[in-house]
Amino acid sequence: MAAKEHHHSKKTTYSLSSFCCLFLSILCFASLFLAFSLFKTSLSPPRPDQHRNFESERSETAEIKNGVSNSPCDYSDGKWIYDPTVRSPRYDKACKEIYRGWNCIGSNKSNGIDIVKWRWKPNHCDLPQFDPLRFLEDYRDTNIGFVGDSLNRNMFVALFCTLKRVSSEVRKWRPAGADRGFTFLQYNLTIAYHRTNLLARYGRWSANANGGVLESLRYKEGYRVDVDIPEGTWAEAPSFHDILIFNTGHWWWAPSKFDPVKSPMLFFEKGQPVVPTIPPDAGLDMVLKHMISFVEGRTQPNTIAFFRTQSPRHFEGGDWDQGGSCPHLQPLLPQEVEELFSLKNNGTNVEARLVNQHLFKALKGSSRFHMLDITHMSEFRADAHPSTAGGKKHDDCMHWCLPGTTDTWNDLFIAHLNNFKVPN
């Protein structure tokens, strides 16, 4: 199994200076390859009206050649660069897995194509677009599971469509309780999406006529969340997959679903209600603690597990159900990002950084999990949501257009994976 060759201690990996040299030269080669292929596909003249933050592609690739640093790169520190030479997206609107509401090119969103012309450039290294064929070859006989909410599905679909374009022979099936999954038959590489909103099992709860501790606190209706029981959709995933990508977050800050008064989250541990009752953010901490140790106890020593940080929403002028919208056609400027997301402004989308505080706290000290930090890079991308193109009653400023931002998440995911690999 390919995963057997993977390495887990970041520290050890990075201290191998010879590996770093090798890694840098691979990056260097990859960047040159990328620059070359962009050049080849450059057919149309640049559109000068679109060039906020534009910097030349050529000067960017030079930076890595100078061997910036051999410490691990902080991929979240960077900027989006408009690259008008990008002619075609990684996959087209015909990829069947793209949910209609996310298919911005298919729905004629005015900037649908422009979204993919922005490239994330970390300040101290490069993040090349991953090569799907190389990936399929490198990760032969590997199972990869995405476990989480619809934002993880968005990322899963982006990966599927990119791979499908270069290897079309797939078997569709539902491995280990997954909502959907595919095996790329020529490579025996399986990717699957396990749907779960809270990671923990939950369901409706109503007061029992015989009474109980929650009834005595006058609770009538709500949701029972078992903080120590994984939802059945993914309980088998840790022992099945070689690589896992988890997320949770959006549903914890969703008062329209878990109304704090009419249908609050009621937490249970070891089958008993947690009393005094606790608010959702405290429940999230309990769930994270239990789910992390569940995963740590079920995975093989060579399994690689990621926790993906929170995907930011970009509602302006109100929340999703208050007429909020995301009309931007270009990424935000750094000061606009701070305005929208800084904790001290406590704006509509403030949960992005709040969720991350909980994740970082819970994962501190976990030797098993690696962080896949996509939050800051995504905070700029107010332009990359379906918005009105989603075809729903409300603007969708939460999910991402495909192709789009989650393709860059996959570049980051694969860059991390390749960093862990021990050189042969």
- Binding interface with ligand NAG (CB under 6 A): 1, 107-108, 141-143, 188, 346
Query: How far apart are alpha carbons 133 and 169 in whole angstroms?
Result: 13
State the nearest-atom distance from the C-beta of 111 to ligand NAG, in Å.
14
- The tokens for 262 are 């009419």
Q: On the CB side of 26, how many CA atoms lie within 13 Å of its CA?
A: 16
Q: Of all helices (H) and strands (E), which one includes residue 304?
A: strand 304-308
Q: How far is the CB of 121 from ligand NAG (least distance, A)?
A: 32
In whole angstroms, how close is the CB of 92 to ligand NAG at the nearest point?
14
Q: Which is nearer to ligand NAG, 108 or 206 (CB)?
A: 108
Minimal distance, residue 280 CB to ligand NAG, in Å: 13
Q: Which is nearer to ligand NAG, 141 or 169 (CB)?
A: 141
Q: Specify the DSSP class assigned to residue 10.
A: H
* Least distance between ligand NAG and beta carbon 207 (Å): 27
Rounded CA-CA distance 36/30 in Å is 10
Please classify residue 48 by burial: count the beta carbons closer than 10 Å to its beta carbon, then call 0-12 exposed, 13-18 middle and 19+ buried: exposed
State the nearest-atom distance from the C-beta of 346 to ligand NAG, in Å: 4
Structure tokens at 253: 């800050």
Q: Which amino acid does the sequence have at 153?
A: R
We find the least distance from the C-beta atom of residue 176 to ligand NAG, in angstroms, to be: 11
Q: What tokens does 391 get?
A: 């075809």
Q: Report, in Å, the least distance between residue 1 CB and ligand NAG.
A: 5
190: β partners:
143, 183
In degrees to the nearest 10, what's the CA dihedral of 162, 164, 166, 169? 170
Of the candidates 241, 201, 199, 247, which has an alpha carbon nearest to the alpha carbon of residue 224?
Answer: 201
Q: Closer to ligand NAG at the Cβ: 273 or 312?
A: 312
Of residues 108 and 216, the one with the C-beta less far from ligand NAG: 108
Q: Nearer to ligand NAG by C-beta: 42 or 302?
A: 302
For residue 99, the one-letter residue type is Y
Query: Exposed, middle or buried: residue 46 (CB in 10 Å: 0-12, 13-18, 19+)?
Result: middle
Q: Toward ligand NAG, which CB reaches closer, 107 or 375?
A: 107
Q: Taking the complex as a whole, how short is the minimal distance between the CB of residue 342 and ligand NAG, in angstroms?
A: 12
3-state secondary structure of 278: coil
Nearer to ligand NAG, 74 or 321 (CB): 321
What is the β-pairing status of strands 118-122 and 78-82? antiparallel
Closest CB to ligand NAG among residues 243, 292: 243
What is the spatial distance between Cα 99 and Cα 404, in angstroms, rounded to a whole number?
A: 13
Nearer to ligand NAG, 77 or 338 (CB): 338
**Would you give the distance in Å from CA 358 to the centre of its chain?**
16
> What is the full DSSP assignment across 81-136?
EE-TT--S-SS-TT-TTS-GGG-TTTTT-TTTTGGGGEEEEETTS--PPP-HHHHH
Nearer to ligand NAG, 121 or 180 (CB): 180
- As measured in angstroms, the least distance from the Cβ of 123 to ligand NAG is 31
